[in-house]
Structure 1
Amino acid sequence: MLKIMIVENDAMIADYLEDVLNDAGYEVCGIAPDVESAIALGRACQPDLGIIDLRLSDGRFGTEVAAALCPGNAFGALYSTGNPDHPVLQGAMGVACLSKPYTPDALVAALTLVRARMMGEATPASLPNGFRLLH
């Protein structure tokens, strides 16, 4: 079972994501609302994947979380944002971005694509609505 962490500043969204991911067969190793707690959580639980909100409760960006956890790790960061064209995503560590709002099916499909990309598999021609690769 793949481990995933949720980095989301909205508690209701985070709880909903946890339910969706548990139902999809992921092991949610924790939820963090800000950069510092997310980095600590990531280092403690060593997740395979992370769904990371772009703007966090401390006013900082989720890109800081991925930058701290990606180097040297097999960590697949999927950003979640209402602003997929935000300049902070240019050159950000991570695999892809999923635009809010999204459906549970789109989220699960996006995470499957992130994992496949990390394993060097080809990206299919059909992508979930609002999904784009970062690099």
Structure 2
Amino acid sequence: MIADYLEEVLNDAGYEVCGIAPDVETAITMGRACQPDLGIIDLRLPDGRLGTEVAAALCPGTRFGALYSTGNPDHPMLRDAMGVACLAKPYTPDVLVAALHLVWARMMGEAAPSTLPNGLRLLH
């Protein structure tokens, strides 16, 4: 239900959503088929696996900006994770859209602004 709502928020903000994946394998398959520029990846997935597996499969050799969404932004797996940023839950739709804009800007080589959206942390 939350993913469906976020899809609506992103569509309203002008993003094209290629789909919602319930697990690592589906996310990787969908990512390889759609070749998205950006992805919002939950750190902990329902099957107990981590979204870092998705970014590790999709980031190398592509221009894919991974934004992790998590209730634990200090999770040790994020220290070396492929991706651009991590957004702490809970967040508002406006903060999510601002975070995606920033992830895109970083993918384009722009410097990070001096002030980040609330709950956003850049990786690496």
TM bucket (normalised to shorter chain) is over 0.9
The structure carrying a bigger strand percent of its residues is 1
Residue among 38, 43, 59 paired with 2:48: 59
| Alignment RMSD | 0.5
Q: Which residue of 1 aligns with 2:21?
A: 32
Superposition pairs of residues 1-135 of structure 1, within 5 angstroms:
12-135=1-124
TM-score by length of 2: 0.99
Q: Quick one: distance in 2 between partners of 1:121 and 1:95?
A: 12
Secondary structure of 1:92's counterpart equals coil
| Separation in 1, partners of 2:119, 2:23 | 24
Identity of aligned residues (%): 85
SS at match of 1:28: coil
Using the TM superposition, give the Cα deviation of residue 113 of structure 1 relative to its aligned residue in structure 2, in angstroms: 0.4
Query: TM-score of the superposition, structure 1-length normalised?
Result: 0.91
Q: Which amino acid in 2 is paired with 1:62?
A: G
For each residue in 1:82-118, what CA deviation from the matched residue of structure 2 results, as whole angstroms up to 9, or x when unmatched?
0000111111000000000000010000000000001
Give per-residue Cα distances to partners, 1:14-43, cap 9 Å, x unaligned: 101101100000000111011000000000
Inter-partner Cα distance in structure 2 for 1:117 and 1:28 = 20
Write the distance in 2 (CA, Å) between the matches of 1:121 and 1:127: 14
Distance 1:31 1:47 in 2: 12
Question: Which runs of 5 or more structure 2 residues have no equivalent in the other structure?
Answer: none
> Counterpart of 1:21 in 2: which secondary structure?
helix
- 1:59-90 deviations in Å (ceiling 9; x for gaps): 10000000000000000000000000011111
